[in-house]
Structure 1
């Protein structure tokens, strides 16, 4: 085929496509789209949580150049802008979906400290007092327009959260809540169960400490680990598992 513009000849290539139903193969033309590929790059960074600096990595730039020389790799600020556009679009779709949905929402919230905040939904400024927590949560509910669509909120069983709930109810329209908000506060059953277990474990804390110290000693070096396995074999202890130090918070 003859092309009037040399750029068209470079953009259009033949690609092989397989029919998922009958397995037949066909050849179709593919035309490169800079905007579409930029969007794919941004979604890749979001999905796999790659750093924005990936577009500055030498090997990545060379890989992209060899894979598709026509793609103009963006700088990190442009990549950040593309990611924020995707967020805005997804947020708009979510708002429309929740507005059409007549059901109520049960939410849960928790606080943790993170160095990069990449997994956090909302940044909470210090100090994390009951007033700050209530204000941030109300702002979030209003931002997503779900303050009148709530059923319950589940939080950890602590005194700070008890006061926060009272402040939250003062800021919300209780007439829009079920039973005037009397069932609004739900205490996390997992957290309560953990408190019960920790209270019970405290009775045998000395024995647990000895076990942990023994495990730490045995796995402290390859020689000790090997000696432990030899002793277990000598005592005919049949086990394929290894000693693992438990995590206290789990």
Structure 2
């Protein structure tokens, strides 16, 4: 989808909140309506626009209840600076990508001439020699290539994160649809111990976090010590 159109779609706060909710698990209209505090009619309108953008899709269960879920991984990048405004959207690179082929990822970029941190561009234009201008042009080209490869590396990391979350979700609940549990476990691994801490890291309401922790404790996936939680083992 065109990046500008995608930005317009995501410019609405409620549509962003819907995507955040669906990143935890598939939901039906009533669930989303209660979560957002808006009418089902408004939710349906938001979902229609997200579907048209290819960001969400739906399926119907055995009870004829329609569930919505995020359809695919998509990365949106926006660059704003005094010298540039640009945006692009891209699918995350395959988790099988060999990032060692990104030749600039270990590049030690030097600023200015001869490794000095002083920028040669600070000198009056009349005092900057032609050779220095050529060096600056070459450095700019090098940095542009670095920027491109870092973008590819970020997409690869995004793809890897998604793959790990999917694997964790399937291991924890057998379906892979309730990703919030994987995010809760990641929060515990990152050092969060209390429900409020996990809630902030996982960006989920405390009562939902507490319910999932209790459920996973019954399966010995996590363990509790007072008001503190940790991964079992």
Q: Same fold (TM over 0.5)?
A: no
Which structure would you say has the larger RCO, counting Cα contacts within 8 Å and 6 or more residues apart? Answer: 2
For the pair shown, which has the larger CA radius of gyration, 1 or 2? 1
**What is the TM-score of this pair, normalised by structure 1?**
0.26
